[in-house]
């Protein structure tokens, strides 16, 4: 009860503080919906997959009465009445059954402040489906501490949400970084931190709790990715420190005072250190595999004293060979995109499963861009080597963590666009030529969900099936001993 009153009080305080809770400024401030009738979330002129949950929205304007919204597809129409446009799931699925490859027209009429108003827009239904499962960490956007963290899994074809791991069963420990290997639901990893914690590895439904640490490493593993073949994972080991300042749009930094790369051999419980990519004069972080598993992409910067010179820390995006038979990273390192040459810094590289694209995040400096308003996504064509900023999908606040769908036609990314506080998962379609469509936020059952939600969706990650992991599994593993890893010769 006390928790509910706490959130109610915070919500009311936010609503009183934001003029947008009173009129259309709320929706336009959040995501830019325009036109005679302003809607929130903004689903005007978007491209969606046919298997997405209903696009529920509301007319975010003062004095809306007698609203009527008609959706037309071919010769069929469905009309919903009221300022809150919320579909029954069964009706939406029926309406969308044959919609792939077609455009849905939306016609709206309402009385606003006593005057009749009409509007019309559309959305296109792609023939490309999206992976049906999304995992994410729900976390309060605190700058000083974590509390009551959960890792969740949502079926994005409906509104079913389940808990993978929560604070109630893990002594309120920090949890983070749930990632799928190659978008596979049966192949994933996340961390429970703290004295009883470990890396929870899911391989074909078999769950293991691992201590991915060994003598000679800076720390346990932090950021990383799973190899397509299943035997290896590539990770960074980081000594991480936070910093706070008053710069507009950059209120918090999290930076490395030291960082290296390492490879975990899950079959032999070995950590493979590679001296030429674990150098004291370089910061190395955010490694990921290529789609074929024969390369490692990662971010590297010159070691500088921090926080004194944090604004000078510029990470390049580089590539090295990877040997899937030994787990060794090659000595030759090639620059894919130079952050230093562009007076910028790279983090979060992710290769598309088809091997065509490399998506990554760019900010002014450092590797923690969540509070950098300039932070945006870039795309490299791995066939041509061309790299470009994705200006067409850039929000007014930070766009950061991202994940590909298994067919390489969709990706999800976390964005603080609008309010600047709460990260939300946005989806974007990319065609064979790299053209992007207008991003849209994850649909929710209630059209007011994002008005009252007080948690950030952190590190959204797509999977082609459910992980099958339950909160009971996580609680059992939390109490169980860890599998130890030793240093490879």
Cβ neighbours around 67 below 10 Å, total:
21
Q: Which helix (H) or strand (E) holds 2?
A: helix 2-17
pLDDT of residue 142: 61
The region, left, alpha or beta by phi > 0 then psi within -120 to 50, assigned to residue 174 is: beta
pLDDT of residue 145: 55
Chain length of the chain: 489
How far is the CA of 158 from the CAs of 47, 154, 334, in angstroms?
Answer: 18, 8, 43
| CA dihedral over 445, 450, 453, 456, signed as positive or negative | positive
Structure tokens at 308: 């004194």
Strand, helix or coil at 109? strand
DSSP-derived secondary structure for 178-242: EEESTT-TTEEEEEE-STT-EEEEEETTEEEEE----TT-SSSEEEEEE-TTSSEEEEEEEEEEE
Rounded CA-CA distance 367/192 in Å is 22
Cα radius of gyration rounded to whole Å, the chain = 23
Q: Cβ neighbours of residue 382 under 8 Å, at least 6 residues apart?
A: 290, 351, 355, 356, 357, 358
21-414-366-181 Cα dihedral, nearest 10 degrees: 160
pLDDT of residue 34: 81
pLDDT of residue 249: 56
pLDDT of residue 29: 55
Rounded CA-CA distance 352/70 in Å is 37
pLDDT of residue 352: 98
How far is the CA of 316 from the CAs of 104, 286, 335, 461, in angstroms?
Answer: 43, 11, 7, 24
How far is the CA of 387 from the CAs of 314, 361, 430, in angstroms?
Answer: 17, 12, 15
Q: Which helix (H) or strand (E) holds 245?
A: none
* List of the chain residues with pLDDT < 70: 1-32, 142-146, 243-252
Q: Is the peptide bond before 319 cis (omega within 30 degrees of 0)?
A: no
Q: In order of start, what are the domains of the chain with their CATH numbers?
A: 2-126 (2.60.40.10), 133-479 (2.120.10.30)
Task: Answer yes or no: are the C-beta atoms of 263 and 298 closer than 8 Å.
Answer: no
Bridge partners of 244? 252
Task: Answer yes or no: are the C-beta atoms of 424 and 443 closer than 8 Å.
Answer: no
Pairing assessment for the beta strands 115-126 and 47-49 based on DSSP bridges: parallel
DSSP-derived secondary structure for 460-485: EEEESS-----HHHHHHHHHSPPBP-
CB environment 439-448: b (16+ within 10 A), e (fewer): bbbbbbeebe
Q: Which helix (H) or strand (E) holds 401?
A: strand 399-404
Q: Which residue has the tokens 């397509």?
A: 228
If 0-12 CB within 10 Å is exposed, 13-18 middle and 19+ buried, where does residue 310 land?
middle
Task: Answer yes or no: are the C-beta atoms of 10 and 2 closer than 8 Å.
Answer: no
Q: Which helix (H) or strand (E) holds 365?
A: none
Rounded CA-CA distance 126/440 in Å is 14
Bridge partners of 320? 296, 333
pLDDT of residue 257: 82
Nearest to 316 by CA among 384, 227, 380, 400: 380
Nearest to 328 by CA among 232, 199, 236, 230: 232
If 0-12 CB within 10 Å is exposed, 13-18 middle and 19+ buried, where does residue 108 land?
buried
Q: Which residue has the tokens 């059952």?
A: 445
Rounded CA-CA distance 454/489 in Å is 48
């Amino acid at each position: 009860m006390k928790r509910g009153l706490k959130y109610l009080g915070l919500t009311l305080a936010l609503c009183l503080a934001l003029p947008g809770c009173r009129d259309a400024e709320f929706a336009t401030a959040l995501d830019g919906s325009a036109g005679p009738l302003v809607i929130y979330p903004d689903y005007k002129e978007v491209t969606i997959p046919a298997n997405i949950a209903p696009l529920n929205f509301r007319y975010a304007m003062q004095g809306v009465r007698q609203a009527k919204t008609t959706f037309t597809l071919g010769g069929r129409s469905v009309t919903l009445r009221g300022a809150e446009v919320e579909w029954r799931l069964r009706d939406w699925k029926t309406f969308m059954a044959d919609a792939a490859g077609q455009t849905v027209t939306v016609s709206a009429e309402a009385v606003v402040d006593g005057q009749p108003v009409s509007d019309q827009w559309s959305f296109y239904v792609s023939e490309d489906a999206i992976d049906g499962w999304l995992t994410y960490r729900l976390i309060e956007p605190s700058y000083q501490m974590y509390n009551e963290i959960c890792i969740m899994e949502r079926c994005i074809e409906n509104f079913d949400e389940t808990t993978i791991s929560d604070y109630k069963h893990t002594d309120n420990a920090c949890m983070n970084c749930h990632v799928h290997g190659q978008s596979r639901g049966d192949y994933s990893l996340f961390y429970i931190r703290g004295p009883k914690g470990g890396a929870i590895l899911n391989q074909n439904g078999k769950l293991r709790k691992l201590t991915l640490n060994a003598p000679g490493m800076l720390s346990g593993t932090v950021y990383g990715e799973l190899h397509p073949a299943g035997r290896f994972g590539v990770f960074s080991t980081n000594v991480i420190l936070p910093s706070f300042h008053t710069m507009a749009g950059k209120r918090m930094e999290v930076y490395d005072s030291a960082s290296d790369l390492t490879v975990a051999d899950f079959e032999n419980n070995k950590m493979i250190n590679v001296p030429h990519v674990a150098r004291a004069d370089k910061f190395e972080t955010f490694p990921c595999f290529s789609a074929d598993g024969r390369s490692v992409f990662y971010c590297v910067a010159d070691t500088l004293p921090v926080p004194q010179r944090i604004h000078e820390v510029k990470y390049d995006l580089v590539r090295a060979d990877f040997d899937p038979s030994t787990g060794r990273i090659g000595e030759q390192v090639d620059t894919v995109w130079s952050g230093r040459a562009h007076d910028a810094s790279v983090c979060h590289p992710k290769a598309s499963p088809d091997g065509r694209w490399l998506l990554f995040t760019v900010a002014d400096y450092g590797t923690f861009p969540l509070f950098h308003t300039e932070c945006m996504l870039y795309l490299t064509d791995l066939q041509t080597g061309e790299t470009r900023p994705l200006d067409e999908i850039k929000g007014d606040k930070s766009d950061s963590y991202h994940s590909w769908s298994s067919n390489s036609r969709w990706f999800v990314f976390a964005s603080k666009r609008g309010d600047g506080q709460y990260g939300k998962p946005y989806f974007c379609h990319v065609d064979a030529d790299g053209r992007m469509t207008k991003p849209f936020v994850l649909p929710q059952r209630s059209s007011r969900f994002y008005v009252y939600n007080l948690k950030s969706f952190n590190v959204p990650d797509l999977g082609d099936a459910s992980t099958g992991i339950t909160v009971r599994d996580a609680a059992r593993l939390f109490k169980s001993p860890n599998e130890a890893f030793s240093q490879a010769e």
